[in-house]
Amino acid sequence: MPAPLPPALSVSGLTKALPGGRVLFSGLDLIVAPGEIIAIMGESGIGKSTLLNLIAGLDRPDNGSIAIAGDTLAGLSDDAATRLRRDRLGFVFQAFHILPHLTLAQNIALPLVLAHQGAAVALPAAHAMLAKIGLAGRGDDYPAQLSGGELQRIAIARALIHRPALILADEPTGNLDPETAERILALLLAEARSTGAAAVIVTHSDRAAAIADRVLVLTGAGLVPRAT
């Protein structure tokens, strides 16, 4: 029997206050099992994005610890946190953030080349991802030629190409029409499942929440399971 894998994300006792002094959360705990898809909902301004930033190592908690696939973030230097992000995390943003002057394949391959892979390895991998997301053969196109839904597919491909342990998605369907949103969520789910990545999806959308294994709501009192 194989040794049990560490959780994809383990957050315990997390406390964070805004510079003004308002406490966003205090003593927050969260365990995401490998391959588990979590949706986090909550009111605007409650601190969902801040939570994601803390998990990504882009912001520092006032207290508490975060571990990604068993590696603790606390105490890591900026460079080490950057490396951790590069190797273990994938990102999907509301605003897509696809670089306009890189080709689609180059955009998807970014996590690989940032990890010092050569173009000879990274680009074929990106083309393979393009096929999976239904944009086969468009690797040399530029983002300007794409619709919003297509852009987000590129983002999903980029988030998964380096087989991260955890995908962080901040309102991935926020800029999309409902139909497109549905298809994108399905794709995200399918791809996460196929690579075995866990995902934390921050969303306002019930449809988005519906695909998750677990739906949590961020409130002033911490993360609570959504009442069904």
Partner 1 sequence: MTAGVPVTAARWMLLGEWRAHPARVVTAALAIAIGVALGFAVHLVNASALDSFERALSSVNGAADMQVRAATPAGFAEALYPRLARLPGVADISPVVELPARAAHIAPDIAGAGRGRVTLIGLDPLRAIAVTPSLVGRPGGEAGVLLSRAALDALDRRIGRRITLVAAGRSHAFTIAGVLPGASTDQAIAVIDIATAQWHFGQLGRLQRLDIRLGSDADPVAVRRAITTLLPADAILATPEADARRTDSLSRAYRVNLEMLAMVALLTGGFLVYSAQSLSVARRGPQFALLRVLGLPRRALLAQVLVEGAALGLAGSLLGIALGQALADVAVSRLGGDLGGGYFGAGTPHLGFAPGPAAVFAGIGIIVAMVSSLLPAREAAAAAPAVALKTSGALGDPRRAARLWPGAVLLALGGLAALAPPIAGLPLLGYAAMALLLAGGVATMPALVRLLLAPLRRLTGLPPALDLALKRLWGAPQQAAVALCGIVASTSLMVAMAVMVASFRGSVDDWLVAILPSDIYLHLEGAEGGGLDPAGQARLAATPGIASIAFVRQVPLRLAADRPPVLLSAQPIDRAAPGRRLLLVGTPRPVPAGETPVWVSEAMLWLYDARPGTRLMLPIGGRLQPVFVAGVWRDYARQFGAIAMADSDYVRLSGDAGKSEAAIDARPDTNIDRLIPALRRALPPGLAEQALFGQPRQMRAMALTIFDRSFAITYALEAIAIIIGLVGVAATFSAQTLARTREFGMLRHIGVSRRQIGAMLGAEGALLGLVGGLAGLALGVVMSLVLIHVVNPQSFHWTMDTRLPWGLFGTLLTALVVAAAGTALLAGRRALSGDAVRAVREDW
Q: Which amino acid would we find at residue 133?
A: I
Q: Which of 43, 59, 177, 206 binds partner 1 (CB under 8 A)?
A: 59
Residue selected from 99, 186, 210, 221 as contacting partner 1 according to rule CB under 8 A: 99
Q: Tell the smallest beta-carbon distance from residue 58 to partner 1 (Å).
A: 4
Among the listed residues 16, 40, 55, 96, the single contact to partner 1 using CB under 8 A: 96
Count CB neighbours of 134 within 10 A.
Answer: 11
Span 165-194, contacts to partner 1 by CB under 8 A: 175
Q: Tokens representing 32? A: 């995401």
What is the C-alpha separation between 153 and 119, in angstroms, rounded? 21
Does residue number 78 form part of the binding site for partner 1 (CB under 8 A)? Answer: yes
Interaction between residue 136 and partner 1 (CB under 8 A): no
- Only one of the segments 77-85, 189-197, 205-213, 220-228 lies at the binding site for partner 1 (rule: CB under 8 A); that segment is 77-85
Both ends of the chain: CA-CA distance in Å?
Answer: 36
Residue partners of 96: CB distance under 8 A and separation at least 6? 148, 151, 152, 154, 155, 175
Residue 165 near residue 68 (C-beta atoms within 8 A): yes
Work out which of 5, 74, 119, 224 binds partner 1, going by CB under 8 A. Answer: 119
C-alpha 170/C-alpha 93 separation (Å) is 5
Q: Among 11-19, 117-125, 129-137, 176-184, which window interacts with partner 1 (CB under 8 A)?
A: 117-125
Considering the rule CB under 8 A, would residue 204 count as an interface residue with partner 1?
no
| Beta carbon of residue 99, minimum distance to partner 1 (angstroms, whole number) | 6
**Binding of partner 1 by 58 (CB under 8 A):** yes
138 binds partner 1 (CB under 8 A): no
Q: What is the DSSP string of 106-170?
A: HHHHHHHHHTT--HHHHHHHHHHHHHHTT-TT-TTS-GGGS-HHHHHHHHHHHHHTT--SEEEEE
Binding-site size for partner 1 (CB under 8 A) equals 34
> What single letter denotes the amino acid at residue 61?
P
Provide the binding-site residues for partner 1, judged by CB under 8 A: 53, 56, 58-59, 78-79, 82-83, 85-87, 91, 93, 95-97, 99-102, 106, 110-111, 113-119, 122, 148, 158, 175
